[in-house]
Amino acid sequence: MVRVRFAPSPTGYLHIGNARTALFNYLFAKKNNGRFILRIEDTDIERSKKEYEDSIMEDLKWLGLTWDEGPDIGGPFGPYRQMERLHLYIDFANKLLSNGLAYRCWCTKEEIEKRLSESKQQKAGYDNYCRNITKAEIAKLQAEGRKPVMRFRVPEKQIVVNDIIRGTVIFESGTLNDFVIMKSNEIPTFHFAVVIDDLSMQITHVIRGEDHLSNTPKHILIFEAFGYTVPHFAHMSMTLGKDRTRLSKRHGATSIRQYRENGYLAEAMFNYLALLGWSSKDNQEIFTRDELIKQFSLEGCNKSNAIFDAAKLLWMNSQYIKMKNSKEIFNLSLPFLEKAGYSEEQLKNKREIIEKVIEIEKDKLKTLLDIPERTNYFITENLIWDSEIAKEYKKPETEQILFEVKNLLEFVEPFEKSKIEESIRNYCQEKNLKTGDVFHPLRFALTGQKKGAGLFELIELLGKSLTLKRIENFLTGNRP
């Protein structure tokens, strides 16, 4: 069975690049009827935080990337956590030690740097000093109270990585120093913990970022030291900004959490992330989840870096909004409406109208964050107009037009779009006025905005009473 894992460190919110890695693992597992496992790599004690772990899991669930197992097998909760598995790493490290494949190193950082600076070889990193020290030397170091780390004894051999995406990559072990696998506090290093986890969880495919390719020789050596079959590796291209530098805050939002808070839909994010570094044979852009699972393959991943385009994601989000009905969009937008200050009672009373506004505005909506702005003039009884913009329409001739339109609308029956439009257009013809001279000030008086839903649809939705009240308040300068 195909078994893959996503292994984030809880030292920050879920980054776009890491979410893409999780997504590719998920798609590959589902395509092959395999299992997708979540593992929290929390051995960085100082930087790891519970709030980040919780956030990562929430964001994965929001994206629909639910994992298939955890410590409570069959349960809906719980990823594996490395800090809960320390005994396992210690046991495996001791096996290497007893077989002569690892050794304890007592050197301080300062001693290593001093020897390197004095060495004629000028080889960077550790100089394997403690590989063959005597028992007497060890006893002396112990007497000094030193706490050793444990290092892996790197053999002299060629290491071949048969990467599904990158092809064959060859490393010479001579480029590697004996690296630390257990720290002096008996917490494993990344290189050791990740391999022990992968072999104990029977991971068949390691799908991760290209920045880990240089770590792979170390991991292969550890797998081989224990006699385990090395998993298949697939190193994905990096996720870069449009300037082709590593995606960072200068490019805007970089975490899934930020995009959630900015009103993006999970389906749109899922679809867009799948297209970062992978494409279908016919260059299709909009996919259902099932279509992506069916078509995805690691062989279809590009070697070149994936360029994250926020504008393209925004476009895709707007397409997904268009595909939803107004009831769905209303339900999804509730947190944003509540954050904008609208009470539960207001939203309950105005739900039908808001859904109608959403239907009218759907083609213009980019994110759910647009909805409070687009609907606020239907929810708020007493409108407040921007004084600077209002000056454009506070002219005697414009106020006269609004006064006459108000009187006209008072007698429109039934108060429906077609009758409203007919009456106002007839007024423009009779007075020999350009429609813009009437429509623009009327829209601003009714909504406080220069643009928005179709004028006659919004007048019908506002209703006669509120329409007349808004125009009257605007003309008289009444404020709530």
Share of the chain above pLDDT 70, in %: 97
What is the signed CA dihedral for 57, 59, 64, 70, rounded to 10 degrees? -10
Share of the chain above pLDDT 90, in %: 79
| Domain-wise residue ranges, the chain | 3-69+239-310, 86-236, 324-379, 387-476
Which residues contact residue 120 at a Cβ distance below 8 angstroms, ignoring those fewer than 6 apart? Answer: none
pLDDT at 352 over 80: yes
DSSP state of 171: E
- Tell me if 3-69+239-310 shares its fold with 387-476: no
Q: What is the reported pLDDT for 121? A: 62
pLDDT at 73 over 70: no
Q: What is the reported pLDDT for 252? A: 74
Q: What is the pLDDT of residues 408-437, one digit of tens each?
A: 999 999 999 999 999 999 999 999 999 999
What mean pLDDT do residues 275-304 have? 92
Mean per-residue pLDDT of the chain? 92
- Does the structural domain 3-69+239-310 have CATH classification 3.30.70.100? no
pLDDT at 280 over 90: no
Band (81; pLDDT cuts 50, 70, 90): very high
Q: What is the reported pLDDT for 478? A: 59
φ, ψ at 246 (rounded to 5°): -55, 135
At residue 233, the 3 state secondary structure works out as strand
**Domain 387-476, CATH among 1.10.10.350, 1.20.140.10, 3.40.50.2000, 3.40.30.10:** 1.10.10.350
CA–CA distance, 301 with 470 (Å, rounded to integer):
57
- Does the structural domain 86-236 have CATH classification 3.40.50.620? yes
φ, ψ at 35 (rounded to 5°): -125, 140
What mean pLDDT do residues 294-323 have? 95
Pairing of strands 102-105, 149-152: antiparallel
Contacts 24+ apart (CB under 8 A), 464-470: 464/409, 464/410, 464/412, 464/415, 466/381, 467/409, 468/406, 468/409, 468/410, 470/383, 470/445, 470/446
Q: What is the reported pLDDT for 72? A: 60
Lowest mean pLDDT among 147-156, 249-258, 320-329, 391-400: 249-258
pLDDT at 77 over 60: no
pLDDT at 165 over 90: yes
Q: What is the reported pLDDT for 479? A: 47
Which residues contact residue 249 at a Cβ distance below 8 angstroms, ignoring those fewer than 6 apart? Answer: none
pLDDT at 249 over 80: no
What mean pLDDT do residues 42-58 have? 95
Which residues contact residue 390 at a Cβ distance below 8 angstroms, ignoring those fewer than 6 apart? Answer: 444, 474
Q: Which two tokens stand for residue 228?
A: 């385990």
The residues that are catalytic are 249
pLDDT at 279 over 50: yes
pLDDT at 215 over 50: yes
Task: Find, among 454, 436, 452, the residue nearest to 392 by Cα.
Answer: 436
